[in-house]
Chains A and B, each alone.
Chain A
Amino acid sequence: MNIALKRPGRSLAAIAIVSTVVLAGCADSGDTGETTTATATDTTTATEAASDSEEGRGPITFAMGKNDTDKITPIIEKWNAQNPDEQVTLRELAGEADAQRETLVQSLQAGNSDYDVMALDVVWTADFAANQWLAPLTGDLEVDTSDLLQSTVDSATYNGTLYALPQNTNGQLLFRNTELIPEAPTNWAELEASCAGLETDCLTLQLKQYEGLTVNTVGFMEGWGGSVLSDAGDVTVDSDQAKEGLQALVDAYENGTISSASTSATEEETNLAFVGGDTAYAINWPYMFTNAEGETSEVAGKFEVQPLVGKDGVGVSTLGGYNNGININSENKRTALDFIKFIINEENQTSFAEASFPPVLASIYEDDALVEQFPYLPALKESLENAAPRPVSPFYPAISKAIQDNAYAALTAGKSVDDATADMKAAIEQASR
């Protein structure tokens, strides 16, 4: 029986192995051809497609994470009513940022035009631009961005070219429990002093090891005048000002100004702590305003918001929000462009503000009616005017990891700030090759 099996068994095994090896080898040549296209050819095809005014128009799809699609659905309905020939279909992506990114990357790497317009998290714009997956908004796709908040436009610009149009933004606010701390601090030293003799926690913010830690570390560094990357792209995380900022954060954690619960806190834990009255100050995103005013809140009517505080005055908040990018493989780029311009018109940005979704159009923040309804708007505007985007780099995930790991070690493992920033610089340079 064994002898008889040998021949058909062997030939089958041989076929299986050979076909596998052939498949592995063949697939490789298909891949390399796609991504080595030179930039010149890509931009010419984009402008050619857009210049023909009849071409480049048609139905498009819009991809966005499902957490916030309820704010965009009414806008899509308005557009569809006005443009019956250029319908927009909403494609909801997963709620979690990483899962959204994976879906988009898989589709774009294959060169698909499944998603014509994509709502990109601000930190992905440089990455997608460097991979040549976004159509640069130049030439026929040019947009006037003078009415938008400058920091949001900066987050969508890579290498001097605009690659996406901001849709909404987000900046952090300093929440203060007025029962515990009646006076608003104007700088960091005043904040620390005001907590003397307090029974509850002083300041709670997100210092767990995840993206929130990078956001807050960069916020402190920038609030003291430093930065992670210079405009030219050099790594400046070990400059004296950046080190001072990180030192302030580490000292505050050690002397108790920043609560020890912060190193296990994400936005949700910060929310619970502040709304439950357990902390005098909290740094969090504007969504907490609605929760703090709610019925079950312990601090309803007893709190105020203001921009973050830094070394000498107003601090620097890190930007959040979405930028809308057009897929380079899209066949209907003109429609896509008109749609993303439609989203930033005054009517639609006002509807964002009414849904607590901070708009990017600067004039909205001065609208009296809205300010009455949402008292945090002036504070938010000042915060956004002083905001800085996170490092605009195609290697953002690696940069974020370099900052997170070393900042966490400086906070909890006693690593010195000099060592931490030196390692951050080395790791960022290593990742940016």
Chain B
Amino acid sequence: MNTRAGQARSAAWLIAPALIVLAIVIGYPILRAIFLSFQADKSLDPTTGLFVEGGFAGFDHYLYWLSNRCMSPSGTVSTCPPGVLATDFWPAVRITLFFTVVTVALETILGMFMALVMNREFRGRGLVRAAVLIPWAIPTAVTAKLWQFIFADRGIVNSLFDTNISWTTDPWAARSAVIIADVWKTAPFMALLILAGLQMIPKDVYEAARVDGASRWQQFRLITMPLVKPALMVAVLFRTLDALRMYDLPVIMISASSNSPTATISQLVVEDMRQNNFNSASALSTLIFLLIFAVAFIMIRFLGADVSGQRGVKGRKVPGMRKRRQVKMEEEELVS
């Protein structure tokens, strides 16, 4: 047991229980959903008026969602009429992607500002850090209700600015309202993750830069940004995946209908289950899963999100560090 092979083997068996639990809790539902997505939903037997099991459906559900393909009563294939859930699929995908891009961009910028402020030394810094986190700590349902009252027809926003915008029903006003509420709620989360990254940058690098005569902006661009990039990309990755799954904020604040101007794809899944179409809802869930998986893959592979913390350890490229290390090595050689 003292050999490396022996230790590795016992380590593997020790993590086995956790792997089995993960397989049951995560792996099984995903595979079962994929299996169900190829089965047809229950259909009504016209003679008895009772539901009977559907059989195998092949790719019918996927075609239903992706290309709006419905079977009309006469048996011909046609596009689904408005009022059927499939017609809300592509608008919902567009809305979800729009929300994701806009909210993550705004939250990153705001979060960066807040983190830079919180990183400095000043009295009451701990209090500021705690206070900034309050929007993130409030449950989303409460936040959604809060902002619903603020944006109500006779709420504070319309009174203060003397406007008469129907924030909850006009399409673009509703989308702006959801974006404002989401950014308010989640910018602190980004700020905290970026702050963690900022605090790992050694202070002497800044001192050296100041000695060398670098301006504030140059320090930010050439020292802060490259060094905080791994943590920043992790934060952006988490936020992007969260935003793609957004459900409770638009539902409670605006409307639970899948036809609303702020409907996200998660809302479609719930609506489909409420109509008892569990199998086509499984197909939609699988499609969402693939979408999120693709986004995460692209971000980790190509945009350098450092999820495992490995990349920053060796070979981290810091401008000026290489020269310093070379100088140090030469000094040691001279000494030895």
A12 to B18, CA, bound (A): 11
B-contacting residues, A197-227, CB 8 Å: 208-210
A424 to B13, CA, bound (A): 59
Which residues from A are CB-within-8-Å of B73?
A: 429-430, 433
Which residues from A are CB-within-8-Å of B82?
A: 405-406, 409, 423, 427
Whether B255 contacts A432 by the Cβ 8 Å rule is no
Which residues from A are CB-within-8-Å of B80?
A: 427, 430
Whether B168 contacts A264 by the Cβ 8 Å rule is yes
Which residues from A are CB-within-8-Å of B42?
A: 35, 131
Residue from B35, B70, B256 within 8 A of A430 (CB atoms)? B70
Whether A423 contacts B81 by the Cβ 8 Å rule is yes
| A67 CB–B CB distance under 8 Å | no
Q: Please name the residue on chain B nearest to A4 by beta carbon.
A: B5
| B301 CB–A CB distance under 8 Å | no
Which residues from B are CB-within-8-Å of A281?
A: none
Which residues from B are CB-within-8-Å of A264?
A: 153, 166, 168-169
Which residues from B are CB-within-8-Å of A427?
A: 80-84
Whether A402 contacts B83 by the Cβ 8 Å rule is yes
A424 to B24, CA, bound (A): 43
Whether A28 contacts B44 by the Cβ 8 Å rule is no
Q: Please name the residue on chain B nearest to A424 by beta carbon.
A: B83
Question: Chain B: interface secondary structure?
Answer: mixed
| A84 CB–B CB distance under 8 Å | no
Whether A36 contacts B52 by the Cβ 8 Å rule is yes
Total of A-B residue pairs, C-beta within 8 Å: 143
A-contacting residues, B8-60, CB 8 Å: 8-9, 12-13, 16, 19-20, 23-24, 27-28, 31-32, 35, 42-44, 48-53
Whether B274 contacts A397 by the Cβ 8 Å rule is yes
B-contacting residues, A1-33, CB 8 Å: 1, 4-5, 7-9, 12, 16-17, 19-21, 23-25, 27-28, 32
Closest-CB distance, B109 to chain A (whole angstroms): 32
Residue from A4, A105, A423 within 8 A of B83 (CB atoms)? A423
| B276 CB–A CB distance under 8 Å | yes
| B71 CB–A CB distance under 8 Å | yes
A-contacting residues, B222-270, CB 8 Å: 255-260
| A132 CB–B CB distance under 8 Å | yes
Whether A16 contacts B20 by the Cβ 8 Å rule is yes
Whether A8 contacts B31 by the Cβ 8 Å rule is no
Whether A430 contacts B53 by the Cβ 8 Å rule is no
Which residues from B are CB-within-8-Å of A394?
A: 44, 51
| A426 CB–B CB distance under 8 Å | yes
Whether A9 contacts B259 by the Cβ 8 Å rule is no
Whether B53 contacts A4 by the Cβ 8 Å rule is no
| B93 CB–A CB distance under 8 Å | no
Closest-CB distance, A367 to chain B (whole angstroms): 38
A79 to B19, CA, bound (A): 53
A158 to B259, CA, bound (A): 30
| B4 CB–A CB distance under 8 Å | yes
Which residues from B are CB-within-8-Å of A7?
A: 9
A68 to B257, CA, bound (A): 25
Interface membership of chain B positions 95-134, coded 1 if the CB is closer than 8 angstroms to chain A and 0 otherwise: 0000000000000000000000000000000000000000
Which residues from A are CB-within-8-Å of B53?
A: 32, 35-36
Whether A9 contacts B84 by the Cβ 8 Å rule is no
Whether A401 contacts B83 by the Cβ 8 Å rule is yes
Whether A433 contacts B43 by the Cβ 8 Å rule is yes
A35 to B82, CA, bound (A): 31
Whether A405 contacts B259 by the Cβ 8 Å rule is yes
B-contacting residues, A376-433, CB 8 Å: 394-395, 397-398, 401-406, 408-409, 412, 423-424, 426-433
| A263 CB–B CB distance under 8 Å | yes
A8/B44 contact (C-beta < 8 A), A208-B255, A423-B83, A430-B70 known: no
Closest-CB distance, A132 to chain B (whole angstroms): 6
Interface membership of chain A positions 155-193, coded 1 if the CB is closer than 8 angstroms to chain B and 0 otherwise: 000110000000000000000000000000000000000
Whether B44 contacts A432 by the Cβ 8 Å rule is yes
A127 to B274, CA, bound (A): 11
Closest-CB distance, B178 to chain A (whole angstroms): 15
A261/B153 contact (C-beta < 8 A), A20-B27, A20-B31, A394-B44 known: yes
| A130 CB–B CB distance under 8 Å | yes
| A82 CB–B CB distance under 8 Å | no
Whether B84 contacts A8 by the Cβ 8 Å rule is no
A75 to B233, CA, bound (A): 61
Which residues from B are CB-within-8-Å of A429?
A: 72-73
Closest-CB distance, A277 to chain B (whole angstroms): 14
A127 to B71, CA, bound (A): 22
6 A-B residue contacts at CB 8 Å? A5-B8, A5-B12, A19-B23, A24-B28, A127-B276, A404-B259
Task: List the 4 closest A-B pairs by CB distance, nearest first.
Answer: A427-B83, A402-B83, A4-B5, A426-B81
* A208-B169, A398-B84 given; 15 more Cβ-contact pairs under 8 Å: A9-B12, A16-B20, A23-B24, A24-B28, A35-B42, A39-B48, A130-B44, A130-B49, A401-B85, A401-B275, A405-B83, A409-B82, A426-B81, A430-B70, A433-B73
